Structure 1
Amino acid sequence: MSAGDGGVGHPLFEHVAAAYSDSDDGRLDNASLYRMVAERAGIPESKRRARSPIGRTGQLHSPVERAIRWHTQTLKHMGAIRRVDGERGVWELVERTRQGLHVPAVPVKLVAFSTALGVAIWGDNRGVIANLDEPIHLVLTSPPYPLRKPRAYGNVPVSEYVDFIVHAIEPLVRTLVRGGSMALNLSNDVFMASSPARSTYLERLIIALEDRLGLQLMDRLPWVNLSKAPGPIAWASKERIHLNVGFEPIIWMCNAPRESFADNRRVLEPHTEKHRQLIAAGGTAVEGDYSDGAYRRRAGAFGRETAGRIPKNVLMRGHRCADAMATRRDAQRLGLPPHGAVMPTSVADFLVRYLTEPGQLVVDPFGGKGTTGLAAERAGRRWLICDRVLDYLRAGAERFRAAPGFEMPEAVEHWPRAA
């Protein structure tokens, strides 16, 4: 595949894949494929048919139709489609389901890689999890933010964001066990058009998840990252209205709060030096009465030896992450685009250990480079992640190679060279 044609992450690729999925029987001839892809991508008929000299011989071909054929070959190499015997230029999905398929299909059965504890699947999250009957204990994900300037993997406008998240989460909530949790890492820095006023999409999303999916708000956990890049530029650095941002919210919700699997004993932190001194001294020497009696401290308080201190509900974690840097290097080595998200493994690790017990199932419907799966793997939890961009999963797979039972289909192993 030439550099100009792009790979799985190329926008035209999704239109080619969707054309097969949307066809009546999953089968298309080239002429129908060209027409459907052009319509979906908004390419005028004149541009689609326009011919230009291509290659050493300078023969006239349509660059658009040529690119579509390249993406068809990519689907073939990934095992998603096959040529129909006896019919020239006709391809069909290898496997179809009653609800239709998203990219890809068998023979790899959507598997990008797997370990003894989990599996990463390439495909649209609803297509992957629609028929999942495995009980889920935690949905942990960082979905695309509603940004005005989209990332490479695409973003949903803020006006559609609540419905987008509810639509993506709904099939997972159906199999979320009683007491299961959902934790969403989102952005607080979404503003009204041409205004320093922040959008209230977060509040509307929380209410929608409660009203429409029956989830209840447990906490808002700020992920504080003091090394976060300065911004918002327009309102902090130029207009001088806002302060520089230093956190992102993590919304934690549960379907049965009194039966939650959360246990702060799994994430206890070491005592501070001052606290250790109090323990050694048998606790505080004097009693105290504060805030008109709202808080009283008795003599000897903080003197008992405990396993550790309960963390505050503020996650102090920098975005610098050894796993993310290694994955970026692997992406470069493999000739793949790096994933732009920066949530470190340390944030996912804390949430996985806090909200689940060993052996329980953690699911990330926007798996990206596999941060959630990696944290679950290391914490001894089962995991399932999916993402529609194979490039990200392929680069992230390198972090799992040492995990027991690691396997990767040959077509994915050689991606993108196989395309």
Structure 2
Amino acid sequence: MNTLPILKTNKGMVFNGDSLELIPQLEDESIDLVMTSPPFALQRQKEYGNKQQNEYVEWLAEFAQKLLPKLKDTGSFVLDLGGAYQKGKPVRSLYNYKVLIKFCEDLGYNLAEEFFWYNPAKLPSPIEWVNKRKIRVKDAVNTVWWFSKTAFPKADVTKVLVPYSDRMKKLIKDAEKFYTPKERPSGHDISASFAKNNGGAIPSNLLQIPNTESTSSYLKLCKELGIKAHPARFPAKLPEFFIKMLTDPDDVVLDIFAGSNTTGYVAESLGRRWISFEESLEYIANSSLRFASNASEAKEYYESILSGNSITVTAPIQFNLFQ
């Protein structure tokens, strides 16, 4: 990178600038995972900036086109996109699906798998159709597209196994009591190895992660210092899932719309190297609170960055999933 980082840690760096200008400075085939959540294509303008739906797909495609040569052949690009309605009517926008088609058919990405992030804590919206007229249900699911450069990106599902159900635990404990190995009517051959304890169950592509972090140290420090938290943060468990599944320690994780830098923070905690791009200096200063151990340190980081200085955090990061 020709540009100097604003914030450095033991494993990562945050750069201030337009990602369209910063991405070309990356070495080709140097990135293992791009994990990001760009401003969504909402009809209502948000304070963190978002494009209108009619220009969103082409706008986002510019970033994706520049990123493709920077990904390793084993690399992945995970993109979190929230849904939206068309302006003035209770009809869903197709922008997030148009992004999917654009990336695959025009830019050359592969859709490794589609994921859906279900946030049970999401407030009912949009107000007009859900709360007032009551003709639509709450929109509580984001589409998360897992793109890859080739058909065989690095991936290991055994790193993200989920706890067995109570029924499966009973089956493992006493398999003969619950089932007889044989071919099922569906054609599946359920053998005796089905009852083997593999340490957990394979997760589905529906990720249930509530976006609640009211007790996080990040929010506590924001409140204590009178600093407004970033208005659009995804929960740490979302990037954690994909970083664990798609990378190994010391692999490089990139977020081109860093915001409050949840991705960088989680990557650091998991022993991955990371790079974050963010256009707003204020958001970078805000994100530095994630790496502070107390209010005094947080204030020092925040004020230093806002003054245009670069900072280095050398203390090890204590990972808290709710931060």
TM surpasses 0.5: yes
Counting only pairs closer than 5 Å after superposition, residues 125-204 of structure 1 correspond to structure 2 as 125-133=19-27, 135-188=30-83, 190-204=84-98
Give the residue type in structure 1 aligned to 2:250: G
CA–CA separation in structure 2 for the residues paired with 1:255 and 1:176: 7
What is the CA distance between 1:285 and its match in structure 2? Answer: 3.3
Q: TM-score, length-normalised on structure 2? A: 0.85
What is the CA distance between 1:169 and its match in structure 2? Answer: 2.2
CA–CA separation in structure 1 for the residues paired with 2:301 and 2:114: 41
Contact 1:112–1:412 (CA under 8 A) maintained in structure 2:
no
Structure 2 counterpart of 1:380: 271
Work out whether 1:394 is the aligned partner of 2:285: yes
Structure 2 counterpart of 1:302: 194
Work out whether 1:240 is the aligned partner of 2:134: yes
CA–CA separation in structure 2 for the residues paired with 1:260 and 1:415: 37
Structure 1 counterpart of 2:173: 280
Per the alignment, in what secondary structure is the counterpart of residue 218 of structure 2?
helix
Contact 2:43–2:52 (CA under 8 A) maintained in structure 1:
yes
Per the alignment, in what secondary structure is the counterpart of residue 195 of structure 2?
coil
Structure 1: where are the runs of 5+ without partners?
1-96, 98-105
Select 1:358's aligned residue among 249, 252, 255: 249
Structure 2: where are the runs of 5+ without partners?
310-323
The structure with the largest alpha-carbon Rg is 1
CA–CA separation in structure 2 for the residues paired with 1:145 and 1:393: 20
What is the CA distance between 1:413 and its match in structure 2? Answer: 4.7
1:79-118 per-position Cα deviation (integer Å, ceiling 9, x unaligned): xxxxxxxxxxxxxxxxxx9xxxxxxxx9xx4422111211
What is the CA distance between 1:151 and its match in structure 2? Answer: 1.6
Q: TM-score, length-normalised on structure 1? A: 0.67
C-alpha distance 181-225 of structure 1, shift in aligned 2 (>3 A): same
CA–CA separation in structure 2 for the residues paired with 1:380 and 1:201: 35
C-alpha distance 341-281 of structure 1, shift in aligned 2 (>3 A): same
Contact 1:217–1:253 (CA under 8 A) maintained in structure 2:
yes
Structure 1 counterpart of 2:304: 414
CA–CA separation in structure 1 for the residues paired with 2:201 and 2:260: 32
Structure 1 counterpart of 2:116: 222
Contact 2:43–2:87 (CA under 8 A) maintained in structure 1:
no
Work out whether 1:123 is the aligned partner of 2:17: yes
What is the CA distance between 1:417 and its match in structure 2? Answer: 6.1
Percent pairwise identity: 29
Per the alignment, in what secondary structure is the counterpart of residue 154 of structure 1?
coil
Contact 1:321–1:345 (CA under 8 A) maintained in structure 2:
no
Relative contact order higher in (CA < 8 Å, ≥ 6 apart): 2
Structure 1 counterpart of 2:101: 207
Q: CA RMSD in A?
A: 2.6
**Corresponding pairs, count:** 303
